[in-house]
Amino acid sequence: MSAPGAVAPAGLRVQRATRSSRIGLAVGAAAVVVLALGPLWALDSVLRTLISFLTLLALAQMWNLLAGYAGLVSIGQQAYVGLGAYALLLFADTVGLPLLVSVLAAGVVGTLVAVPTALLAFRLRGGYFAIGTWVIAEVYRLVITNVSQLGGGSGLTLRAASAFDRTTRLYLTYELALAVGVGAVAATYLLLRRRLGLALTAIRDSEQSAQSLGVPVFRAKLVAYLVAAFGCSLAGAVIYLNLLRVQPEAAFSVNWTAFMIFIVVIGGVGTIEGPIIGTIVFFVLQETLSGYGAWYLVLLGAVAVLVTVAARRGLWGLVADRTGWSLFPVQRRLEERRLEERW
């Protein structure tokens, strides 16, 4: 990558970083350091809120990778939240693995299950794919519900967590949530900067055109789907490491995917910045509107409709249009080299 402003002969160069992205990288790195030191300065209630924030951010980034870049609008991502939660229980309580290893193993289980799921779901297109993923998630929920060893409909409690005192468990869960949240943003950014990112955006714009130009459509979609499954399963394991009890109705609830969609639509589909902005807005609305009971979800829906009508590219789209900022540039820009006369 050429450094901006470098002296070079006349010609063109491919530029990827921007001034705003360098500032954003510095601010983001500082924010991660501050967050990593959270147990030293934050109250327990703040840490619990940050755990929810970071895991939802990870889920939203994964859904955005699927829908925003690969054009795979899935409404069944709750399948991997539930599978991650139950895999955590299996490895931590039954197999006896350490909690950290169990969380990673939960991500691997979600990825393995995603392989046959993708082979089935990719036979569907458009709205059929969306509905198909939801149906598959319901099948997984019903299977788990009918396995008595997993507690059936009543669910199970994570017994392995009792080996830690309450404070240690909270700090461990928080650091895992931070790793999952930041890791989801970093992994998405690095993935999209590779040739796979170009392939995914080409598929999103026109799958037929991308295929005619030699883009490996199936392989690119499969990689995006498996990465999203891994991220959602990890996030699901961390969510239920925090909650300590897993029930199929809650772990496989379609509300998880509804929250992902809301966050991405509000923040901006097809941008890495969008899910970050959307997660912040979601938490502000949640804190403000949670006292309205059943009207809470209605008000969230109304906000989503208003933002969609007023800003079709989401809130980050408005900011980017007015300022030209791009904190996570994944596109390539062709710029003319500057000439400098040397004396």
Residue 284 exposure: Cα atoms within 13 Å on the Cβ side: 9
Q: Would you say 333 and 7 are in contact if contact means Cβ atoms under 8 Å apart?
A: no
What one-character DSSP code corresponds to residue 66?
Answer: I
Write down the pTM of the prediction.
Answer: 0.91
Mean pLDDT for 157-162 is: 91
Mean pLDDT for 260-281 is: 94
What one-character DSSP code corresponds to residue 123?
Answer: T
Backbone angles phi, psi at 327, to 5 degrees: -75, -30
SS3 293: coil
The first and second tokens of residue 50, run together, are 């940050």
In sequence order, what are the beta bridge partners of 126? Answer: none
Q: Is the pLDDT of residue 275 over 60?
A: yes
By DSSP bridging, strand 12-15 and strand 245-246 are unpaired
Ranges of beta strands (E only) in the chain are 12-15, 156-157, 245-246, 333-336
What gap in Å lies between CA 103 and CA 200, rounded to an integer?
28
Rounded mean pLDDT of the chain? 89
By DSSP bridging, strand 333-336 and strand 245-246 are unpaired
Mean pLDDT for 242-248 is: 95
What are the percentages of helix, strand and coil residues in the chain, rounded to 5?
75, 5, 20
